[in-house]
Amino acid sequence: MIVKPASQGSSVGMSRVERASELPAAWRAATQHEPVAFAEPWITGAEYTVAILQGKALPAIRIETPRSFYDYEAKYLRNDTRYFCPSGLAVAAEADLAALALSAFDACGAEGWGRADFMMDSQGRALLLEINTVPGMTDHSLVPMAARAAGIDFDELVWRVLETSLVRTTC
């Protein structure tokens, strides 16, 4: 299983647990950050993220790391994390992932822009890990990477994100 703090980000406080004896330390690591932690079954499979901009999904990114999972080190410190965009998924699977990302976003009442993270299980089913409502926006971040693949440069992306914050009035 994997143990996570309930509302952190950047994989902070997360541990993979392979045997019961590792659980107390994983729980302590997670609850160092906040009182609520949870555990999920470990998923073995490829990892994908789908950025959403103005109600549409951008091309999926497949993430590969030689580490046990996409942890803090793999995200920010290592140079052996690999990102593939286009993701290598077949057209239909890419469309399914995009639809799933949009419906997850919708189900949470999110709108505008963001990112949904997935893993594929051994049967090729996409499992939603989480949605991110304010994902990273450095020039190395995943949303700008997906936007680039769709022909949207960083400045244009920032404008489009700002456009999502324009308030609609009904009067």
Ligand X SMILES: Nc1ncnc2c1ncn2[C@@H]1O[C@H](COP(=O)(O)OP(=O)(O)OP(=O)(O)O)[C@@H](O)[C@H]1O
Nearer CB in complex with ligand X: 134/162: 134
11 lies in the site for ligand X, by CB under 6 A: yes
Question: Smallest gap, in angstroms, from Cβ of residue 95 to Mg ion?
Answer: 22
Tokens of 1: 């299983």
**Exposed e or buried b per residue across 144-160, where buried means at least 16 C-beta atoms within 10 angstroms of its C-beta:** bbbbbbeebeeeebeee
Question: Smallest gap, in angstroms, from Cβ of residue 165 to Mg ion?
Answer: 23
Q: Which region among 32-40, 60-68, 75-83, 111-119 touches Mg ion (by CB under 5 A)? A: 111-119
38 lies in the site for ligand X, by CB under 6 A: no
42 lies in the site for ligand X, by CB under 6 A: yes
44 to 73: interface string for ligand X, x by CB under 6 A: ---x---------------------xx---
Contact 100, 116 (CB under 8 A): yes
Helices 154-163 and 142-149, packing angle to 10 deg: 110
Alpha carbons 16 and 31: distance in angstroms, whole number: 15
